């Protein structure tokens, strides 16, 4: 019981730090925000913070892991829903738009950072690979159950969904009104289309 | 004749400066690159450079104008080709992948910059509006000529194409191998799909 409570507390602390880090990145930029600023925002000593995250790269890793967890939760929900594709699109779009909030400039800055920071580049490349593999696996499982057309190329669909999500983040970062002015509708349409096989040529 | 030659020279100088600016942004980041660095890279005096571009924001505006010009050229080419959608997708993807080269991190940084620089935000928002209006106009013209299905929502398709292009840039910025490892194929598929009306529901 003690161990379980400890684990819960640690999880809560990590969540707290990630939220504080996102607030600092929003305010000062990913590059501009220092670990000292994150300590202050989280109300923690440097020793305490470094125990959880040895640097900003570790924070990026944790943000990626959180997104992978969200993706898995949505896939699991869709697997047990009556209409796989519809639920994947609706719940996926919901989680994507909720994850954005005011964070899209931060996500885009982290992508930009990868051009000059090989450790961030390695984390993002690994994240994209895992995300696409998880998505493709989920789509193939749905195909095996007859809940998605076999004609759909699961790997291509996963890669396309990943591109669509990045595009949505970039559009939100470039224009804070984007989500409200139809962006969410375009996101859902693009996701729905990525889950339909292309018509046969000719 | 003198005026025409002058205009050509001015155009050439502007092109030279834009190329120098992109090289500096690549090397030092959009925020890190100074006008002095751009002067040096372009081999021009500060007075000369400021005559053409009073600041980095004016350079962003010129980069946007260049992209609008490319978009118009591709639309014009597609209008006079036998197969409108096929040519728009093929030539569009060609120009998009050529425009990227090693510049995707710069484009993504400029998007990130808009969160903290209202002038850049205004330039990008205006650019996106003009780009989507131009695209939607081109699609509607093709529909009027019976070269695109009337069932296609031209405004939605233009907004979706814009999202897809941003996503492609973001994926290339996050992973330099993206374009070569299938990214270009996904880009073409997504663009082609954006030009097909969705199947009627039910």
Domain tally, chain B: 2
Same domain, B37 and B95: no
Asked if the model's pLDDT at residue B201 lies above 70, the reply is no
Same domain, A28 and A70: no
pTM for this predicted structure: 0.92
State mean pLDDT over A157-167: 96
Same domain, B47 and B66: no
Q: Does B99 touch chain A (CB under 8 A)?
A: no
For A107, the token pair is 């996500």
Which of helix, strand or coil describes residue B29? coil
Query: How many Å lie between the alpha carbon of A145 and the closest alpha carbon of chain B?
Result: 21
For residues B117 and B114, what is the distance between their CA atoms, to the nearest angstrom? 5
- Is A189 in Cβ contact with B190 (below 8 Å)? no
For residues A154 and B25, what is the distance between their CA atoms, to the nearest angstrom? 37
pLDDT band at A4 (very low <50, low <70, confident <90, very high): low
Residue with the bigger pLDDT between A102 and A78: it is A78
State mean pLDDT over A157-183: 91
Select from A173, A181, A191, A201 the residue whose CB has the most chain B CBs within 10 Å, as the one to mutate to test that interface.
A173
pLDDT tens per residue, range B77-126: 999 999 999 999 999 999 999 887 778 889 999 998 888 899 999 999 99
Ranges assigned E (strand) in chain B: none
Same domain, A148 and A75: yes
Q: Does A189 touch chain B (CB under 8 A)?
A: yes
State mean pLDDT over A15-43: 93
Task: Compute the count of residue pairs across chains A and B with CB atoms less than 8 Å apart.
Answer: 134
Query: How many Å lie between the alpha carbon of A113 and the closest alpha carbon of chain B?
Result: 8
Of B29, B112, B168, the CB nearest to A105: B112
Query: How many Å lie between the alpha carbon of A119 and the closest alpha carbon of chain B?
Result: 12
Same domain, B20 and B117: no
Is A150 a domain residue? yes
Which chain A residues have a beta carbon less than 8 Å from that of B185? 156
Residue A45: predicted pLDDT:
93
State mean pLDDT over A114-134: 93
Is A199 a domain residue? no
Which chain A residues have a beta carbon less than 8 Å from that of B152? none
Is A202 a domain residue? no
CATH for B81? 1.10.357.10
For residues B122 and B130, what is the distance between their CA atoms, to the nearest angstrom? 12
For residues A78 and A137, what is the distance between their CA atoms, to the nearest angstrom? 13
For B146, the token pair is 């019976």
Torsion-angle region of B29 (φ positive above 0: left; ψ -120 to 50: alpha; else: beta): left
For residues A97 and A179, what is the distance between their CA atoms, to the nearest angstrom? 8
State mean pLDDT over A73-95: 95
Query: How many Å lie between the alpha carbon of A133 and the closest alpha carbon of chain B?
Result: 15
For residues B137 and B155, what is the distance between their CA atoms, to the nearest angstrom? 8
Among candidate residues A67, A72, A76, A69, the one with its CA nearest the CA of residue A142:
A76
Residue B67: predicted pLDDT:
92
Residues 19-78 of A with CB under 8 A from B: 29
pLDDT band at B6 (very low <50, low <70, confident <90, very high): confident
Same domain, A125 and A156: yes
Is B200 a domain residue? no
Spatial neighbors of A89 by CB under 8 A, at least 6 apart, are: A188, A191, A192, A195
Is A201 a domain residue? no
pLDDT band at A175 (very low <50, low <70, confident <90, very high): confident
Residue A100: predicted pLDDT:
79
CATH for B25? 1.10.10.60
Is B185 a domain residue? yes
Is B34 a domain residue? yes
Q: What percent of chain A has pLDDT over 90?
A: 75
For residues B186 and B168, what is the distance between their CA atoms, to the nearest angstrom? 9
Residue B4: predicted pLDDT:
67
Spatial neighbors of B200 by CB under 8 A, at least 6 apart, are: none
Of A108, A192, A199, the CB nearest to B170: A108
pLDDT tens per residue, range B137-178: 999 999 999 999 999 999 999 999 999 999 999 999 988 888
State chain A's mean pLDDT as an integer.
92
- Residue of chain B nearest A187, judged by CA positions: B160
Q: Does B97 touch chain A (CB under 8 A)?
A: no
Same domain, B49 and B61: no
Same domain, A91 and A186: yes
Which chain B residues have a beta carbon less than 8 Å from that of A167? 163-168, 170
Asked if the model's pLDDT at residue B22 lies above 90, the reply is yes
Range with the lowest mean pLDDT among A51-65, A140-154, A175-189? A175-189
- Is B163 in Cβ contact with A186 (below 8 Å)? yes
pLDDT tens per residue, range B43-85: 999 999 999 999 999 999 999 999 999 999 999 999 999 999 9
What kind and span of H or E run contains B130?
A: helix B118-144
CB atoms within 10 A of CB A11: 10
Residue A191: predicted pLDDT:
97
Range A141-176 burial, b when 16+ CB lie within 10 A, else e: ebbeeebbeeebebebbbbbbbbbbbbbbbbbbbbe
CA atoms within 13 A on the CB side of A106: 24
Same domain, B73 and B114: yes
Question: What is the torsional sign of CA A47, A50, A55, A56?
Answer: negative
State mean pLDDT over A41-68: 94
Q: What is the ipTM of this complex?
A: 0.90
Same domain, B78 and B9: no
User: For every residue of chain A, which 3-state class applies, written as one string?
Assistant: CHHHHHHHHHHHHHHHHHHHHHHHHHHHCCCCCCHHHHHHHHCCCHHHHHHHCCCHHHHHHHHHHHHHHHHHHHHHHHHCCCCHHHHHHHHHHHHHHHHHCCCHHHHHHHHHHCCCCHHHHHHHHHHHHHHHHHHHHHHHHHHHCCCCCCCCCHHHHHHHHHHHHHHHHHHHHHCCCCHHHHHHHHHHHHHHHHCCCCCCCC
Is A184 a domain residue? yes
Domain of A107 in residue numbering reads as 56-194
pLDDT band at B2 (very low <50, low <70, confident <90, very high): low
Residue A201: predicted pLDDT:
64
Select from B31, B107, B108, B182 the residue whose CB has the most chain A CBs within 10 Å, as the one to mutate to test that interface.
B108
- Is A170 in Cβ contact with B108 (below 8 Å)? yes
Residue B91: predicted pLDDT:
96
Same domain, A95 and A151: yes
Same domain, A70 and A45: no
């Amino acid at each position: 019981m003690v161990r379980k409570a400890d684990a819960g507390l640690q999880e809560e602390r990590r969540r707290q730090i990630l939220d504080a880090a996102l607030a600092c990145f929003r305010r000062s930029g990913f590059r501009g925000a220092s670990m000292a600023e994150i300590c202050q925002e989280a109300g923690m000593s440097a020793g305490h913070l470094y125990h959880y995250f040895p640097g900003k790269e570790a924070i990026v890793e944790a943000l990626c892991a959180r997104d992978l967890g969200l993706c898995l939760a949505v896939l699991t929900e869709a697997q047990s829903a009556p209409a796989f594709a519809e639920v994947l699109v609706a719940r996926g779009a919901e989680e994507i738009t909720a994850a954005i909030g005011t964070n899209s400039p931060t996500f885009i800055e982290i992508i930009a950072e990868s051009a000059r920071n090989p450790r961030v580049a390695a984390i993002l490349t690994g994240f994209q690979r895992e995300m696409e593999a998880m998505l493709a696996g989920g789509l193939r499982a749905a195909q095996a159950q007859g809940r998605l057309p076999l004609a759909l190329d699961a790997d291509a669909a996963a890669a396309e969904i990943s591109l669509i999500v990045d595009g949505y983040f970039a559009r939100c970062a470039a224009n804070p009104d984007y989500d409200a002015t139809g962006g969410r509708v375009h996101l859902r349409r693009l996701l729905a289309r990525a889950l339909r096989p292309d018509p046969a040529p000719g």
